[in-house]
Amino acid sequence: MELITEYITGISNQFFDPKKRVFLIYILLSILIAFFWFVFYKKKSLLSSFKKIFDKKVFFSTSSKSDYKVFLINQMIMMLISPFLITQLAIATTLYFYFHTINWLSVGMYSNTLPIVFISLFTIFQFTLDDFSKFIIHRFMHKWPILWSIHKVHHSATTLTPMTVFRTHPLEGIIFSIRSSVTQAVSISVFFFLFGNSVDLFTILGVNIFVFLFNIFGSNLRHSHIGIRYWQWLEHILISPAQHQLHHSIAREHHDKNFGSALACWDWMFGSLHHSIEFENLQIGIKKNQIENSHSLSSLYVGPLIEINNFIIKKFLKTKSKFIELFSKTGLVNDNKIN
Amino acid sequence: MKKTFILIFTIFISFSFVKTSLADVYGPYPITLQGYDGDKTNSVKYTGQMARHALHDSLKALVKTGDVSKMMAYYNGEDNLEIIAPKSKDDFVVKQTMISEIGSGNLSGKMYKGYIPGWGNLTGPEAIEHMMTKAGEVEGGFDPDTGMDYTQLISKFAMGAVFYNQAVNNYLGKKMEIGQKPNNKPYKDGAYYTGKEHSWDEAFGYWGSAAHALTLNAEENYNVAKKKDMASADYNGDGVVDLYSEYTYAHAYYASSYDKGGKTNYLATINQAFINGREIIRDADGRNLSFDERTKLLAKRDVIRDNWQKVIAESVFKYAGSTYKDLVKLETIMEANGDTTEAFRTYAKHWGELKGFALALQCGPDDLGETAVKMNRMMGFGPVLLNSSQVVGVDSQGNFIKDQAQDWSEFKLHMLKIQKLMEDEFGVTAKSKDMLSDMADLSGKIGSADSAEND
């Protein structure tokens, strides 16, 4: 019974907690931004804007329905797993202890700094480090075959809605949770050690002010069919919704582009930035003619595990044959026996 | 008919009220000893324990005089001793002026007899006598050469080695065992209370709370110990505070200090367990406890032991935090080439309290094993001194041996690790002077990523 209550609370928290991406106010603001985009920029009527924004084909597609199911299932899985995951406080405490052993550091060495300075620094640092870690992990998720098998679940979406953020394999959820714990622990422990116990965060509704701004300015439109674009200069700094949608495009030239979450500068620095393009219907997914089965729950949950297993077996066999080849050359293995 | 009903109802309500309020006070409890034909009506007696609390408070006040013979007089509970503490203060008027007016007893005979690994492996009595001797060699009970604050060391150690030890090891330990101090016999020949009654009462006395502590909140109990709340202390309304039953001493005082923070309820939990346990014995009505009664009594005993141990662990936690803060402050002063005298004195005081409570914690029924080893090593025999030396042991003549100290940063880290140890091993929750609480608060404010999301 307690488990069910916790589960339902967890689900509702996603929509009523300002720390969550799909907090209803953020969704509402995204809808307003979308209207603004269509009416004032695209010069469409209110009715046609409405039809475009609340497109039935998008929200009730097989892909989107899978997103909703995955959201509900993952909520339960993560609820059961999260107590076993290392917390940011445990890591922060270990790091804080470790800093005490470094001779050239002393606790509170910059504690005389004005609070407004170190609170601002902490707020910026925490947001930037978190965003960079998201970028770098995302990049790895695309570059390493095993990680790609997992991340592919997210990219198998053929329509994008704000709920597509939850189309994530639980293994990837664990990776993201660890990433988040580590980055938060680093920023908290470093700042506490250097600036003392008054370190704090500038927040709005309890959320880092930058995360809040990111969310009220339409973070939910990243996963949508509304291709809002920014000025080119701004797309070097902030990722526009259209840039992220392009990241989901099946077009070869869009592969491995725009890994960033809020900031585009990481992609710019690492050479993976791609400016947004004008499109009516961008083809989203992994490949052309993607089979309908890629949205089934078994495919989404078990598929990556099979792929990882096959990958490991393939690697093992390849290494084995290399060893045999090496030893047969050195004469340590009898060729007849191998045959 | 209606009037009769109202009368019965009123009597019933009044009776319930009296019963409820009496249940919040430890005693009086009727005589249950079979065959007793004397004129006593109350079987509760723990005068010796409260006299020892006054001896301890007086001894603590005497340390700064450096008068070893006077200290020893109170330690040994000699005759005709004046109460040096607690004394009347402003409108807080204390009833007794002589120890003998409370009861008789000594501290020396009740010391923990085992080894004290954190104090040169001396036995309990040897360790405290060593401290008193050393206190006699310095001014004001403080030795700036070693950083030893004997007022704190003696007081905090004695609270553990006498009160905690006697209560949990002896009266709630050995004397609760089957065949020990049976309930169908007097505690000793000629006594008007049974074996179990008196054992339980003695343990309650060592705990140090006022008998009516449950009628007060944590803040009020704390203020009684601070002599700031006469109204709360004077339960019987006779205009004076009876040091036998109306005052808060020792660990009960520390419990109230943590409880007033609102995170814990040690004092009420322990007092309630003492009262409930005593009621089980009362209800046995002078016969041996049944298996069921004994099981219930031991469950209450366990509540008392566990929470009492936590109160001491909370104190270790608190003073490790204070010491850490002092170390940081000293470091800042030293970097600025400032005067460290006052800050060093505060540091030594807090370290002395830390050490005293840590030694006390080791006087309980459990062998703390690795926890004790870690704790003793991390806090050291003495505090790290400003010249990077530290007391590391004691020679056969009782002289301190000094050597190269732990690294200053390492010592600071050890204070944090001691706090973590108390949290991990004893589950402390009041966590006064928690050096990591702000970090935990900020961590909570940022929140955790516990849902599977792709950005």
Query: Mean pLDDT, consecutive 10-residue segments, chain B of 455 residues?
Result: 51 43 85 95 98 98 97 97 97 98 97 94 95 97 97 98 98 95 96 98 98 98 98 97 98 98 98 98 97 97 98 98 96 93 98 98 93 96 95 92 89 96 96 92 82 81
H-helix or E-strand containing A175?
A: helix A170-195
pLDDT value of residue B22 = 53
pLDDT value of residue B451 = 74
pLDDT value of residue B121 = 87
| Residue given tokens 């059961």 in the structure block | A80
Regions of chain A short of the pLDDT cut 50: 335-339
Query: In this structure, is residue A323 part of a structural domain?
Result: no
Q: Is A220 exposed, middle or buried (0-12, 13-18, 19+ CB in 10 A)?
A: buried
Q: Which of A167, A192, A206 sits opposite B445 (nearest CB)?
A: A206
Query: In this structure, is residue A339 part of a structural domain?
Result: no
Question: Which residues lie below 8 Å from residue A205, measured CB to CB, with a gap of 6+?
Answer: A18, A212
pLDDT value of residue A294 = 87
Query: In this structure, is residue A69 part of a structural domain?
Result: yes
Nearest-angstrom CA–CA distance, B56 and A52:
83
Nearest-angstrom CA–CA distance, B294 and B271:
19
CA distance B264 to chain A (A): 23
Which among B438, B441, B455 is the top mutation candidate for probing chain A, defined by the most A β-carbons within 10 Å of its own β-carbon? B455
pLDDT value of residue B16 = 44
Nearest-angstrom CA–CA distance, A222 and A242:
7
Asked if B439's CB is within 8 angstroms of A96's CB, the reply is yes
Query: In this structure, is residue A317 part of a structural domain?
Result: no
Secondary structure of residue B397 in the 3-state scheme? coil
Question: Which chain A residues are Cβ-neighbours of B435 within 8 angstroms?
Answer: 197
Question: Which chain A residues are Cβ-neighbours of B445 within 8 angstroms?
Answer: 201, 203, 206
Question: Which residues lie below 8 Å from residue B373, measured CB to CB, with a gap of 6+?
Answer: B117
Of all residues in chain A, the one with the smallest CA distance to B438 is A197
Of all residues in chain B, the one with the smallest CA distance to A192 is B439
Q: Which of B332, B409, B448 sits opposite A180 (nearest CB)?
A: B448
Strands (E), A178-330: 203-204, 207-208
Asked if A173's CB is within 8 angstroms of B455's CB, the reply is no
Query: In this structure, is residue A272 part of a structural domain?
Result: no
Q: How many domains does chain A have?
A: 1
pLDDT value of residue B3 = 54
pLDDT value of residue B11 = 47
Asked if B449's CB is within 8 angstroms of A177's CB, the reply is yes
Give yes or no for a contact between A246 and A254, defined as CB atoms under 8 angstroms apart. Answer: yes
Give yes or no for a contact between A184 and A90, defined as CB atoms under 8 angstroms apart. Answer: no
Q: Which of A89, A92, A107 sits opposite B412 (nearest CB)?
A: A107
Q: Which of A20, A88, A262 sits opposite B443 (nearest CB)?
A: A88
pLDDT value of residue A333 = 57
Query: In this structure, is residue A244 part of a structural domain?
Result: no
pTM: 0.85
Query: In this structure, is residue A328 part of a structural domain?
Result: no
Q: Which of A93, A103, A164 sits opposite B436 (nearest CB)?
A: A93
Domain that holds residue A201: 2-224
Query: In this structure, is residue A109 part of a structural domain?
Result: yes
Nearest-angstrom CA–CA distance, A296 and B442:
41
Give yes or no for a contact between B217 and B202, defined as CB atoms under 8 angstroms apart. Answer: no
Cβ neighbour number for residue B227 with a 10 Å cutoff = 20
Question: Which chain B residues are Cβ-neighbours of A78 within 8 angstroms?
Answer: 450-452
